[in-house]
Amino acid sequence: MITAATLDFLRELKLNNDRGWFEANKKEYQKAYGDFFDTVVKLILAIGEFDRDIASSHPDPKSCIMRINRDVRFSKDKSPYKTNFFAFINRGGRKSPFGGYYLHVEPGDSFVGGGIYMPEPVVLEELRGEIDRHFSEWHAIISTPEFIARFPKGVEPSGSLKRPPKGYDVTNPAVEYLKFKGYYTQQFLSDTEVTDSGLVSRLADTFLASKPMIDFLNRAL
* Domain assignments of the chain as residue spans, ordered by start: 4-219
3-state secondary structure of 2: coil
Angle at alpha carbon of residue 33, lines to 19 and 110, rounded to 5°: 95
**Which has the closest alpha carbon to 202: 190, 214, 216?**
190
Q: Which helix (H) or strand (E) holds 178?
A: helix 175-178
**What confidence tier does 213 reach under pLDDT thresholds 50, 70, 90?**
very high
Phi, psi of 138 (to 5 degrees): -55, -50
Q: Crossing angle of helices 4-15/26-48, nearest 10°?
A: 130
Whether 75 has a pLDDT exceeding 90, the answer reads no
* The predicted structure's pLDDT at residue 92: 86
**What confidence tier does 94 reach under pLDDT thresholds 50, 70, 90?**
confident
Dist CA 220 CA 215 (whole Å): 9
Strands (DSSP E) along the chain, which ranges? 85-90, 100-105, 110-116, 183-184, 187-189
* The predicted structure's pLDDT at residue 77: 86
- Please return the burial class of 181, using the count of CB atoms within 10 Å of its CB with bins 0-12, 13-18 and 19+: middle
Q: Other CB atoms closer than 10 Å to residue 173's CB: what's the count?
A: 11
